[in-house]
Chain A
C-alpha cells in the first residue's frame, strides 16, 4: 500500500475575481488539505464558487489571498510548463474537435513531454496505451471524437489527463450530462484510479448521493459556512451534512447516511407484512401523503404478505377484505377510500 500523503495544502485562501474597479470575493478563509490516493468531491449549490475554486487551484485564475501549496511548493511559483506535469484537468467545456482520432487526442496529453513537432516516442505511446487501458476505452481508440457520446468523450478526456502523467487531476463536474449508470461508472472509475495510481483526484459534482457513497473525502462549500471537509461518514455524524442540505422537502437520514425526500403526510394507515413488498407499498403510500407502517393504529389496513404470495389484501373498515394484483391498483383503491382513512394527529 502506498502512502497517502498531503499533496494540496490550502491555507486562508480567498478566491474570486478582480478587475480595474472591482474585487469580488467568492469565498474566503478556505483552509483544507487533499491527500493522494483519494477521491475528493467538492459539493455545493450552483453559484457558490466550485468552479472558481477549481480554476484557482488549476492556476487558470489568480487567487486573491492566502496560500495554495501543491507538493510542498507555492502554486504561483510553478511555471506553466512545470504545472503541465503536475496538474491535469478535465473541464466542463465540450471539446468539439472534428476529424481527430481518440488515440490522437489522448496523445496530445503527452504534449508537455514531447518535442518540437509533438511527435510521440515509443515510451509516449506506451503511456497513451496504458491510459486507455486504465479508463477501459480500448474499443474507442480508433474512433473519431465527433462520433462519441458525452460519456465516452468524458472518459477520453480523463484518459488524456492520465496520459499527462500528473500526480494531481482536477475534474469540473465530470458527471454532468451523463445518464445515471454512466455517472456511477464514472465515479467508480475515478475512485478506482485514485487507488491504483495513487493520484490525487479532486472533482466537483452535483451528484450528492453518489459522492456520499463513493468519495473518500467530501468538501461542502457553502456561502454562510465556508468549506467543511471530512469523510462523508464523519460529516454525517457531526451533523454537517444534515445542516448543509437543510431545506424543506429534503431529509438527511443519519442511519443510512443518505438523503431522502421528506414527504408531508395528511393520513396514516396500518401496514402489515415484511420484506421488500412491505417496503415498496410503504414507499408508494408515503409518496401519496399517507404515513404507513406497522405501528399505526387504524381501522383501515393493508396486508402485503411476502414475496411468495402475489397480490395485496386491502382491509377497508366497513367492507369485506379484497385482493389487488399490484401496487398501482392498490393505490387506486386506497385513493377511492381516502375519506375513511385516519387523519394525522387524530
Chain B
C-alpha cells in the first residue's frame, strides 16, 4: 500500500471511530433526538435531567469504555501474535483472561460461601472487589507466564504452557462453582459474558485514564516488534536483547489484557481478529502502521459491537462476547479469503 493510501485509511478509521462514537450516544432504547444529544454534550440549552443522565451517565461512559477496551485488546492481540509468531495468538490465549476469571470467581463465589454475603447485592463495593479480583488474578497468571518465558526457549512451548494454565484456572473455577450458591454462580456467568456497560462513571474515569496512559507506551515497542518479525536469530544479530524484548512485550500485553478484563469481563475475539483485519487492510507487517491501525480498528469495532448489543429489541440483553464473534468472525474469514486470492495471483 502506498504511503498516501495508508494515511488516507488512517484518517478514515479515525473518522469511523468518531462516527460510531456519536451513533453510540444517539441510539439506544430511549429515543433522544440528535439535537438534544448535541446540547447535552456541550452543555447548551435546557435538556431534562433524565436526558442528561441517560447521555452522561450511561451512554458516554459506555462508548468510552468500548473505545479504550477495544483499542487495548487489539493492541494486546497484535503484540501477542508478533511475539509468538502465531496467527492464532490473542490476549486470551496465554491464560491471562482465565486468570482474571479465576480472580473474579474467587471474589464472587467465596464471598457468598464464606462471608455469607452475596456480592451481587453489595453494589459499588462489590464492583471494586470484582475489579481488584480480576486484576490480581490476571496479573498473577501473567507473572507466571513472564517467569516461564525467561526460562523456556520455544515459543510454542510457552503458548502451550499458557493454554495449560488456562485449563487449570477453568478447573479451579469449576470446583468453586460446585460449592457455590446459585445466585453467585449467576453473577459470575454474567460477568463472564463481557460488557462495556458495567463500568460506572467514577470507575470509568479511572479505567480511561489508565488506558490513556498505557496505550501510547506501545510506541516504545514498535522497533522491537519489527525486529521480532525476523525471528529470534536475526533479531538478536541486529542488537535486540531477545529475553528483555519478550519480557517487555508479554508483560505489557498482559497488563493491557488484565486491566480491560477487570473492567469489562473477558471480551473475546477482538484481540484475535483486529490485528488480522489491519494486516488485511494495510497489506503490511510494519508495526509503525499496524499499531495505530489496530488501535483505531479495535476502538471502532468495539463501538459497533456495543451498538448492536444495545439495539432496540435486545434492550442491552445481548452479551458483548456474542456480538464480537458474530460481527468479527465473518469479517476475518472474508479478509483471509481475499488475501489468499491476491497471493495466488501474484
Chain B residues, CB < 8 A from A60:
233, 236
Asked if residues B284 and A89 are in contact (CB atoms below 8 Å), the reply is: no
Please name all residues of chain B whose beta carbon is closer than 8 Å to the beta carbon of A146 when the two chains form the complex: 343
A89 vs B279: C-alpha distance in the bound complex, in angstroms?
28
Which of A97, A109, A147 meets B238, CB within 8 Å?
A: A109
Contact of A116 with B233 at beta-carbon distance under 8 Å, contacts A99-B285, A100-B284, A146-B343 already known? no
Q: For residues 273 through 321 of chain B, which have their beta carbon under 8 Å from a beta carbon of chain A?
A: 279, 283-286, 288
Q: Could you tell me the distance between the alpha carbons of A112 and B237 in the complex, rounded to whole angstroms?
A: 9
A44 to B239, CA, bound (A): 30
Chain B nearest CB from A141 CB (Å) reads 15
CB distance from A112 to the nearest CB of B (A): 5
B48-103 contacts to A, CB under 8 A, are none
Give B224-248 as 1s and 0s: 1 = Cβ < 8 Å from A's Cβ atoms.
0011011101101111110000000
Please tell me which one of the listed residues A81, A95, A105, A147 contacts residue B239 in the complex, with CB atoms under 8 A apart.
A81
Q: Does the CB pair B231–A111 fall under 8 Å?
A: no
Report how many residues on chain A are interfacial, defined by Cβ distance under 8 Å.
Answer: 33
Q: Write the chain B residue with the least CB distance to A101.
A: B284
Interface residues on B, range: 20 to 34
B346 touches A100 (CB 8 A): no
The reply to whether B285 and A97 form a contact with Cβ atoms under 8 Å apart is: yes
Complex alpha-carbon distance, A260 and B75, angstroms: 59
A167 nearest CB across to chain B (Å): 14
Q: Counting CB contacts under 8 A, is A118 at the interface?
A: yes
Give the residue name and chain of the A residue nearest to B224 (CB). Answer: A118
Contact check: which of B223, B230, B343 meets A97 at CB < 8 Å?
Answer: B230
Q: Which residue of A lies closest to B237 (CB)?
A: A89
Confirm or deny: B187 has a beta carbon within 8 angstroms of a beta carbon on chain A.
no
The yes or no answer to A93 lying at the interface (CB within 8 A) is yes
- Are B238 and A108 interface neighbours, CB within 8 A? yes
Interface digits, A141-184 against B, CB 8 Å rule (1 contact, 0 not)? 00010110000000001001000100000000000000000000
- B239–A84 CB distance below 8 A: yes
A120 and B233 CA atoms in complex are apart in Å by 22
B222 within 8 A of A: yes
Query: Taking A97-B285, A118-B223 as contacts, is the C-beta distance between A147 and B346 under 8 angstroms?
Result: yes
A104 at the binding interface (Cβ < 8 Å): yes
Q: Contact: B343 with A84, CB < 8 Å?
A: no
From 56 to 109 in chain A, residues with beta carbon under 8 angstroms from any chain B beta carbon are 58, 60, 80-81, 83-85, 87-89, 91, 93, 95, 97-100, 104-105, 108-109
Pick the residue among A84, A97, A100, A104 that contacts B237 (CB under 8 A): A84
Do B239 and A100 touch (CB < 8 A)? Answer: no
- Distance in angstroms between the alpha carbons of A111 and B226 in the assembled complex: 10
Complex-state Cα separation, A89 to B285, whole angstroms: 22
Query: Main SS of chain A's interface residues?
Result: loop
Q: Are A97 and B346 in contact (CB under 8 A)?
A: no
Complex Cα spacing A104 to B236, Å: 18
Chain B CB within 10 Å — which of A81, A99, A104, A147 has the most?
A: A99
CA distance in complex: A254, B141 (Å): 66
* A80/B239 in contact, CB under 8 A: yes
Interface centre among A93, A114, A147 (most CB of B within 10 A): A93
How far, in angstroms, from A224 to B342 measured CA to CA in the complex? 54
- Which among A81, A85, A104, A147 is the interface contact of B286 at CB below 8 angstroms? A104
Task: Name B1's closest neighbour in chain A (CB-CB).
Answer: A99
Q: When chains A and B are docked, how far (Å) is the Cα of A60 from the Cα of B346?
A: 37
Bound-state CA distance A55–B81 (Å) is: 27
Which residues on the B side are within 8 Å of A99 (C-beta)?
Answer: 279, 283-285
Given the complex of chains A and B, what is the CA–CA distance between A80 and B229 in angstroms? Answer: 18
**Distance A111 CA – B230 CA, assembled complex (angstroms):** 12
Chain B contacts for A83, CB-based, 8 A: 237, 239
Closest residue of chain B to A109 (Cβ to Cβ) is B238
Question: Nearest residue in A to B227 (C-beta to C-beta)?
Answer: A111
B285 pairs with A111, CB closer than 8 A: no
Q: How far is the CA of A333 from the CA of B237 in the complex (A)?
A: 61
**Contact between A91 and B234, CB atoms less than 8 A apart:** yes
Q: Are B237 and A58 in contact (CB under 8 A)?
A: yes
Judging by beta carbons under 8 Å apart, are B231 and A95 in contact? yes
Q: Is A117 close to B, CB under 8 A? A: yes
A117-B230 contact given A144-B346, A146-B343, CB 8 Å threshold: no
Q: Is there contact, CB below 8 Å, between A117 and B222?
A: yes
B282 and chain A: residue at smallest CB distance: A99
**Residues from chain B with Cβ under 8 Å of A98 in the complex:** 279, 285
In contact, A112 and B286 (Cβ under 8 angstroms): no
Q: How far is the CA of A160 from the CA of B235 in the complex (A)?
A: 12
Most buried by A among B229, B240, B241, B343: B229
Q: Which residue of B lies closest to A160 (CB)?
A: B234
- A296-329 CB mask vs B (1 if < 8 Å, else 0) is 0000000000000000000000000000000000
Q: With the chains together, A104 CA to B241 CA distance in Å? A: 21
Query: What is the CB-to-nearest-CB distance from A12 to chain B, in angstroms, rounded to a whole number?
Result: 26
A87 & B286 in contact (Cβ 8 Å cutoff) = no
B343 touches A80 (CB 8 A): no
CB contacts (< 8 Å) of A116 on chain B: these are 223
Nearest Cβ on chain A to B62's Cβ, whole angstroms: 35
Where the two chains meet, the residues of B that have a C-beta atom closer than 8 Å to any C-beta of A are: 222-223, 226-227, 229-231, 233-234, 236-241, 279, 283-286, 288, 343, 346
3 closest A-B pairs by beta carbon, nearest first, are A84-B239, A118-B223, A111-B238
23 contacting pairs across A/B (C-beta < 8 A): A58-B237, A60-B233, A60-B236, A81-B239, A83-B239, A84-B237, A89-B233, A89-B237, A91-B233, A93-B231, A95-B231, A97-B285, A99-B279, A104-B286, A105-B230, A108-B226, A108-B229, A111-B226, A111-B227, A111-B238, A118-B222, A118-B226, A146-B343
